[in-house]
Structure 1
């Protein structure tokens, strides 16, 4: 039989079969669609634009082997060889957009049939031609159309309609930034407290107030202490004595008593040089810093341990930041941190991670880290809110693809590699760092391979279905 005759015979079978399927009502609509596709596919192999059947101009499931008109005088639409036989959801007719004929038809050669699959997409295959319970022929699956690796082939039209897009895996710098809030705190090592070690009376207080700046050695107050005066008189009497070395040893003990009472070193040295026993001692600032607390009041009595001044050096401060538990694995001591204080919009303070506290908050599931920040202009103040950014990315370029390319099932991560000619192959991959919309691929994909970045869920679903069909086919062949 000639190719044209074969097309006519196939089309006739199409019309008859479709009419029988549609006569059963809406419940057989899907069967008609699958049958039309199965019967027309061989006829589509003929060359040229010769119509193989005619369809209702409104896309209704009404067909004819010869030119025909509707009751209102409109001509039926000619369907040429190679027309796209996929069905839309809103109509029971093939879509009107013509596409290229299948690869097997273009090649004009015969390909080996691997197996036959259920026309309704059920997980049932057969090594030989057969019909289902509705009398529909099983659809042949040729070599190259399915593969054991789950790859899937799509026509250019289906790729375009699905919105499939791809991007090549390439070496990129991935910047992974951890952002966390925190607050400024004092460096515990740079805080000094001035308190008396004996009962004392405050004679006078210098013009120093809370919040003011002081420098090391600057006078703060004058105090009188009966205990200190007694110890000082004993020390002076000892060093002025002309007795032997035994008394000299006792003199060293008198000096140590003054040191234990926290008498300023300058006052002790003055007594050693022959100065008089002081009745009033002057206390000076032990370091440069800010006066955080002033409790000294002129004429007041100070008991041992009472804090009279608290001075802190804030030229170096701490930033205490709470980071999420999941980010702990990316942190290490010495990492560079950028801090933005909410009181100084647009200004960035640079520091480094100095301590990662060995405890996780059970309620917030966060861990605290300490960042040392230079503060030369004293702009950062205690309890000031801040936002920290910690760059944990790899400084070297790594092979990366967009985040949207990865299909993550929880147990495995997969990307779809574009193999050309409409074929897509799923690949298991091992992921690394994420950042900037990209994810590092440590295995599974080579540099330059194109991966699907959109509509990959649709391709993956079809790939999984074909893999399942292959499994059933292999099981049936084994029997």
Structure 2
């Protein structure tokens, strides 16, 4: 019994000593710098030693808080550390070389060049309107013989078109013959001029001078080669000078009307050469020149119509463009002066702006807004925001932009901050989604807020004290005036309930 008591006492002494040693070691560890480092790491401080300077809203860098929380749009605030802002403009991010390599970041230098652009358009062939001859009778009479009978018939210049019987024409010939017999120069000249005015062919006048015999039917000939485009008479018709008997359209020169996008029409001028081809004539191309660019856009296609002239007088009759054919138009366009261009793949389009990621020195990057111009193949003109020699990111830029855009001002240089005062407001229509009576907050789906350049979205608003919070009804349509409070929260200053415009609570 005594031995058992001694054994228990010995075990108790060993346990006390062991507990004291473990306690001392634990106290020494947690009081050491290494212990504090682990504790800081567990608490989430950046780098295990640095605390955030403040928290910022992901979509609004002007909304800042000194502790974690929610943004006016209901998003978690993002911590900002001293390393993120020290000595750099807003939005500048630093990436170590290893991460740059892992992300596959590639850069390119901004250039000032004269790029070429191939403008392609679809066109259709039609008769050149300034190469159409309209045939009118100069005198009343009857069509005794009609040598063309259908639209589309081809006629050569000087070929007979029709023969006309007209008493007045007979009288004019008789006057000419009488003047010849009298050998009176003044009468001969006057009679000849009358026959010319009536479009009597020179061959008939020469025959009258030689034979001095009047022709009862006068044959009129084609003024040019071409096809019959319009035919309004038939054999036996009675015609008058006011009638258009027929029209002859030349095929030696045709028009091609092409639809061009307005952005492709920039810099186009009359005389610009073009190449035209058609699937109906495989293996053949035609030289053309831009004749006219019509001033108005088509209401249906939203394109500009361009008129090209094709001279095919030297082509064979089988290898010519014919009215109604569809064609492809190709033009090479180049700016007159060098311009700043970037690769198309470097541009980030958000829907409301275009931006690129600027590569700074020492592994630093920043998203900036740019103003874009024309597109030249795989390159885009930059009107503002970049200069020749700048370096931009052309690969993995979306990952860098997502980090930089949290706090970036999207400017090359950090401008002076402009405060939007409480006297600035924006009116918009909204739908009530939720009402928190005790907190005096409402959740609205609102339209565009022009004063704050904020797109439509769903977010929380505080409610001004002079507005009855019970006037907000879920699913109701309201017209509200929004202001920004000094705290950064947006507030409903004025309320109109749609359908009851007497609910003005100003």
TM-score (norm 1): 0.63
Aligned residue number for residue 317 of structure 1: 254
1:198 Cα deviation after fit: 3.3
Are 1:359 and 2:289 matched, yes or no? Answer: no
| Cα-to-partner distance string for 1:324-357 (whole Å, 9 max, x where unaligned) | 4455543322222333334234543232221223
Are 1:372 and 2:309 matched, yes or no? Answer: yes
Residue of structure 2 aligned with 1:300, choices 236, 250, 263: 236
1:255 Cα deviation after fit: 3.1
Residue of structure 2 aligned with 1:417, choices 353, 358, 376: 358
CA distance in 1: counterparts of 2:33 and 2:57, whole angstroms: 21
CA contact (8 A) 2:156 2:224 kept: yes
Are the structure 2 counterparts of residues 472 and 312 from structure 1 closer, same or farther at C-alpha, using a change threshold of 3 Å?
Answer: closer
CA distance in 2: counterparts of 1:119 and 1:201, whole angstroms: 93
| Cα-to-partner distance string for 1:268-326 (whole Å, 9 max, x where unaligned) | 233234531122322222112233355665x5234225555432221111112233445
Aligned pairs (5 A) from 1:38-49: 38-39=47-48
Are 1:261 and 2:284 matched, yes or no? Answer: no
- Counterpart secondary structure, 1:272: helix
Are the structure 2 counterparts of residues 161 and 224 from structure 1 closer, same or farther at C-alpha, using a change threshold of 3 Å?
Answer: same
Are the structure 2 counterparts of residues 304 and 14 from structure 1 closer, same or farther at C-alpha, using a change threshold of 3 Å?
Answer: same
CA contact (8 A) 1:405 1:456 kept: yes
- Counterpart secondary structure, 2:360: strand
Residue of structure 2 aligned with 1:240, choices 175, 181, 184: 181
Aligned residue number for residue 395 of structure 2: 454
Task: Out of 362-371 and 405-414, give the one that drifted further.
Answer: 405-414
CA contact (8 A) 1:175 1:391 kept: yes
Aligned residue number for residue 14 of structure 2: none
CA contact (8 A) 2:56 2:65 kept: no
Residue of structure 2 aligned with 1:183, choices 108, 124, 149: 124
Provide the alpha-carbon RMSD of the alignment: 4.2
- Counterpart secondary structure, 2:172: helix
Are 1:381 and 2:322 matched, yes or no? Answer: yes
CA distance in 1: counterparts of 2:264 and 2:340, whole angstroms: 22
Task: Out of 280-289 and 362-371, give the one that drifted further.
Answer: 362-371
CA contact (8 A) 1:117 1:141 kept: no
Aligned residue number for residue 8 of structure 2: none
| Cα-to-partner distance string for 1:201-243 (whole Å, 9 max, x where unaligned) | 4444558865444332223443333321122112211332256
Aligned pairs (5 A) from 1:8-27: 9-16=32-39
1:463 Cα deviation after fit: 2.5
Are the structure 2 counterparts of residues 328 and 9 from structure 1 closer, same or farther at C-alpha, using a change threshold of 3 Å?
Answer: same
1:170 Cα deviation after fit: 3.5
CA contact (8 A) 2:366 2:408 kept: no
CA contact (8 A) 2:151 2:230 kept: yes
CA distance in 1: counterparts of 2:228 and 2:166, whole angstroms: 24
CA contact (8 A) 2:367 2:405 kept: no
CA contact (8 A) 1:186 1:312 kept: yes
1:118 Cα deviation after fit: 4.9
Task: Out of 261-270 and 166-175, give the one that drifted further.
Answer: 166-175
Aligned residue number for residue 348 of structure 1: 285
Q: Which runs of at least 4 in structure 1 moved beyond 6 Å after TM superposition?
A: 5-8, 119-123, 409-412, 470-473
- Counterpart secondary structure, 1:355: strand
1:402 Cα deviation after fit: 0.6
Aligned residue number for residue 96 of structure 1: none
Are the structure 2 counterparts of residues 210 and 149 from structure 1 closer, same or farther at C-alpha, using a change threshold of 3 Å?
Answer: same
- Counterpart secondary structure, 2:358: strand
1:439 Cα deviation after fit: 1.4
Are 1:272 and 2:209 matched, yes or no? Answer: yes
CA distance in 2: counterparts of 1:167 and 1:450, whole angstroms: 6
Are the structure 2 counterparts of residues 251 and 120 from structure 1 closer, same or farther at C-alpha, using a change threshold of 3 Å?
Answer: closer
Aligned residue number for residue 20 of structure 2: none
Number of aligned residue pairs: 371
Query: Which consecutive residues of structure 2, in runs of 5 or more, have no partner in the other structure?
Result: 1-27, 70-78, 420-506
Residue of structure 2 aligned with 1:216, choices 129, 133, 157: 157
CA distance in 1: counterparts of 2:288 and 2:415, whole angstroms: 58
Are the structure 2 counterparts of residues 143 and 208 from structure 1 closer, same or farther at C-alpha, using a change threshold of 3 Å?
Answer: closer
Residue of structure 2 aligned with 1:440, choices 374, 377, 381: 381
| Cα-to-partner distance string for 1:183-203 (whole Å, 9 max, x where unaligned) | 212122221233433344444
CA distance in 2: counterparts of 1:139 and 1:359, whole angstroms: 53
- Counterpart secondary structure, 1:174: coil
CA contact (8 A) 1:402 1:439 kept: yes
| Cα-to-partner distance string for 1:42-66 (whole Å, 9 max, x where unaligned) | 9xxxxxxxxxxxxxxxxxxxxxxxx
CA distance in 2: counterparts of 1:132 and 1:368, whole angstroms: 59
| Cα-to-partner distance string for 1:92-116 (whole Å, 9 max, x where unaligned) | xxxxxxxxxxxxxxxxxxxxx9x83
Are 1:290 and 2:313 matched, yes or no? Answer: no
TM-score (norm 2): 0.60
CA distance in 2: counterparts of 1:472 and 1:190, whole angstroms: 65
